[in-house]
Structure 1
Amino acid sequence: MKKKSILVLSATAGAGHVRAAEALVEASHLLSLPITIQHIDVLDYTSRPFKKLYSETYTLIVNNSPKLWGYLYKTTESKSLDRKKSFLMKLFDSFNYQKFLQALNDHQPDAALCTHFLPYWGISHKMSKPEWRIPFFAVPTDYGIHSLWMNPWLKRYYVATAEAAWTIKSRGFSDEKILVTGIPVMPQFGLSVDQHVAREEFSLDPHTLTIMVLSGGYGVGVLDELVPSVALFLSKFERKEFQLLVVCGRNRKLYNKLNAMNFPSNVKVYLYQFVPYIDKLMDCADVLITKAGGLTVSEALAKNLPMIIYDPFPGQEGLNATYIIERGAALGAINFSLLNYKLKQLIEEPRLLEHMKANAKKIARPNAAKEILADVLRNI
């Protein structure tokens, strides 16, 4: 049987789209499926100014004016976004699609699997023609779905939730085009690891309540206040000790500021920069304080790790947070005071933490990438 060729297409607009694409590629290496797979970033085939504008705009807006992002998300969702009315898509079409179309022609894939909507919106006018032969599949990377993901020329949608599937169906798409799979995560997030063994690797106390904090979309002006606020609050619990694992990522300024601080003696703070073993740190943690990015949430759920979602960005993060909070896998907090209160709940009610862990396990989809690849193969 001849191997099928699958091209995984992403766009560097936030890390989640790329991580989902990488998860699909990694899963393909573990499966005995007759496929070859390659991942490309569609923005690499656009002009340099467009790539810079597109990849940096989201981060710039959400970090500096999250309310503006929420407004843009809502208003673009409520309007028709065909090519004639979308300035962004017209811009992409006019100046950028030729190189990308040439790349598709060079690769000649049997299928294109998109973890961002830009690849197929940019060439939608070509996909509508009878002679078009490459089936495109969409893999949205959040728990709700924006209308930008919806396109009549797609073969299939692989969505995170039944709610997302319902939203697509309500726009006139048939059930046959939609499959609820979850969001693709790296295979290691689906591994079950004993917490004591995991903590031993990082020289952590096996019996101490351990709180993990991910920098994610937080700016330095948030976490350099959040971490000491949490540590000070935890210090008020007499005869109790805590471990705080803070992942600063590539935010060197944040790392340096926190590293220069003195923390209460009963709160041991461990700082990490960018690390390739987030899954191992999750194995060590009892609860995760984080934003509500689709990939981060999916990775934590796959690890059955309860979450406190702190001040999510409006738009897709708000939808992600609502989904997991409604299902009892997370608590929410919009300020430091409420964050500390939610921590107090978990400290004083250990059964609540166990209940949240069980709920996370119920809605986790650690095998999403495998399900998606197997279904693509059946449909090409």
Structure 2
Amino acid sequence: MKLLILSCSTGEGHNSAGKALLEYLEENGVACEMTDPLSLVTSPVSQMVSDVYLFSTRRNLFKTVYRMGETVSTGLSLQSPVYMANKLYAKRLYDYIVDNGFDTVVCTHLFPAEALTALKRAGRLDRKTVFVMTDYTCIPFTRETDLDYYIVPHEHLVEECVQKGLRRERLFPFGIPVRRAFRERIAKREARVACAAAFDSGADMTAKWFLVASGSMGFGSSADLIREILSRCGKGAEVFMVCGNNAKLQTVLKAEFGRFDNIHLLGFTDRMSLLMDACDVLFTKPGGLSSTEAAVKNIPIVHTAPIPGCETRNAEFFHYHGMSYSSLEVKQQVTVALRLCNDDAYRQRMCDSQRTNANGDACRRILELLRR
């Protein structure tokens, strides 16, 4: 088996799922590679798509785009603009697959799944193809794809996928791939010592530790949340705020909170696993991948405001299954976080629900499927 993983840089979740699978496959001796199919056209194209996606999330346009996709997807009689756009680079993707001898192709993003569908419908691609869903809903336009296998995040989503037009026999509720670091756990005290050293924080080891993650693109009303934590906890809380790639957000927050020794403002970091091990509660927007990582890690989650669309569905799914608490109100978010710190039974119920519903074994099960 020689396997190609395809993802796109519209949010880091798709890439993280691909990297998790890549890590596991390499550890198990599978020849594999991961690439962005848009880079096969020109590398600026990939950046342009990412920039457009970022623009839409910050101007509340993504909600409109998502609803348009749902409308188109409910009764496709014509191929969607999304399909047609990704069909444009399908030949170059085919050449790359054939020239490099890949016999299996896994997508963690809709765009390459559309391109592969175009190749299959043209009768040009006889490789095994897989689409790994990274959100807890059947996202718009998925039904117009036609791949061999679909990896679904949870068994309770199978019926939704069937209703949206996917074939039941192609659906495998294995979960979302997460890297080994999130499948393992470091003792809280040890993790806090490591965080203090890694981020030169001088944090109080006995305080409540809150991790605030705004996503790789720095989305959300983080300042209001930090103000509320300071108002309620004062020096009794250490707040680690991850701003992602949003340097402007980090600069704005530093101007307001830079004088507080217990507010630690971080940019993009590859130490999220360690930060989760160290924290008492994670505040995060409901990205499918980041939420799954935290649930597999078994960290209490408070979901903050979602990017309208699939993240709204993620928040609903997690909240309904008891894996997180979701609220749009900052005061309520902090109230629940403090309860999770102080109420052992409440915290344990959430962690138990995470263990029941979050599958950390997705990579192994996907590999077993591909080896059949």
TM-score (norm 2): 0.89
Which stretch shows the higher mean deviation, 356-365 or 312-321? 356-365
Partner residue, 2:353: 359
Secondary structure of the residue aligned to 1:216 is coil
Could you say if the C-alpha distance between residues 258 and 99 of structure 1 is closer, same or farther in structure 2, counting changes exceeding 3 Å? Answer: same
Within a 5 Å distance, the mapping from 1:8-19 to structure 2 comes to 8-19=5-16
Which stretch shows the higher mean deviation, 329-338 or 73-82? 73-82
Which stretch shows the higher mean deviation, 335-344 or 190-199? 335-344
- Report how many residues are paired: 365
Write the letter of the residue equivalent to 1:157: Y
Which stretch shows the higher mean deviation, 325-334 or 287-296? 325-334
Tell me if the contact between 1:138 and 1:149 (Cα under 8 Å) persists in the aligned partners. no
Deviations 1:80-132 (A, max 9, x none): 47594312322332x43332222122123111011012113124232024553
Residue 210 (str. 1) matches residue 205 (str. 2)? no
The CA deviation at 1:297 is: 0.3
Could you say if the C-alpha distance between residues 318 and 221 of structure 1 is closer, same or farther in structure 2, counting changes exceeding 3 Å? Answer: closer
Q: Distance in 1 between matches of 2:232 and 2:144?
A: 49
Tell me if the contact between 2:218 and 2:243 (Cα under 8 Å) persists in the aligned partners. no
Partner residue, 2:113: 120
Q: Distance in 2 between matches of 1:53 and 1:274?
A: 20
The CA deviation at 1:291 is: 0.3
Could you say if the C-alpha distance between residues 172 and 181 of structure 1 is closer, same or farther in structure 2, counting changes exceeding 3 Å? Answer: same
Tell me if the contact between 2:280 and 2:341 (Cα under 8 Å) persists in the aligned partners. no
Residue 43 (str. 1) matches residue 33 (str. 2)? no
Q: Distance in 1 between matches of 2:283 and 2:312?
A: 15
Secondary structure of the residue aligned to 2:106 is strand
Could you say if the C-alpha distance between residues 83 and 59 of structure 1 is closer, same or farther in structure 2, counting changes exceeding 3 Å? Answer: farther
Secondary structure of the residue aligned to 1:37 is strand
Instruction: Please list every run of 5 or more consecutive structure 1 residues that lacks an aligned counterpart in the other structure.
Output: none
RMSD: 2.5
Write the letter of the residue equivalent to 1:259: K
Residue 277 (str. 1) matches residue 271 (str. 2)? yes
Q: Distance in 1 between matches of 2:26 and 2:339?
A: 42
Secondary structure of the residue aligned to 2:270 is coil
Q: Distance in 1 between matches of 2:99 and 2:369?
A: 25
Tell me if the contact between 2:153 and 2:174 (Cα under 8 Å) persists in the aligned partners. yes
Q: Distance in 2 between matches of 1:329 and 1:108?
A: 42
Q: Distance in 2 between matches of 1:46 and 1:367?
A: 34
Partner residue, 1:30: 27
Match of 1:70 among 52, 60, 63: 63
Residue 288 (str. 1) matches residue 282 (str. 2)? yes
Deviations 1:247-298 (A, max 9, x none): 2223333333333445898x82223222211100100011100101111101
Q: Distance in 1 between matches of 2:352 and 2:304?
A: 21
The CA deviation at 1:374 is: 2.1
Write the letter of the residue equivalent to 2:14: H
Could you say if the C-alpha distance between residues 154 and 260 of structure 1 is closer, same or farther in structure 2, counting changes exceeding 3 Å? Answer: same
Partner residue, 2:199: none
Within a 5 Å distance, the mapping from 1:1-380 to structure 2 comes to 4-31=1-28, 33=29, 35-47=30-42, 50-65=45-60, 68-80=61-73, 84-93=78-87, 95-130=88-123, 132-151=125-144, 153-203=146-196, 204-216=203-215, 219=218, 222-235=221-234, 241-261=236-256, 268-378=262-372
Secondary structure of the residue aligned to 2:371 is helix
Secondary structure of the residue aligned to 1:150 is helix
Which stretch shows the higher mean deviation, 151-160 or 311-320? 151-160
Which stretch shows the higher mean deviation, 305-314 or 121-130? 121-130
The CA deviation at 1:201 is: 1.7
Deviations 1:135-183 (A, max 9, x none): 2111011111124223463111111012322122234544321111111
Q: Distance in 1 between matches of 2:77 and 2:112?
A: 14
Write the letter of the residue equivalent to 1:60: F
Q: Distance in 2 between matches of 1:309 and 1:174?
A: 32
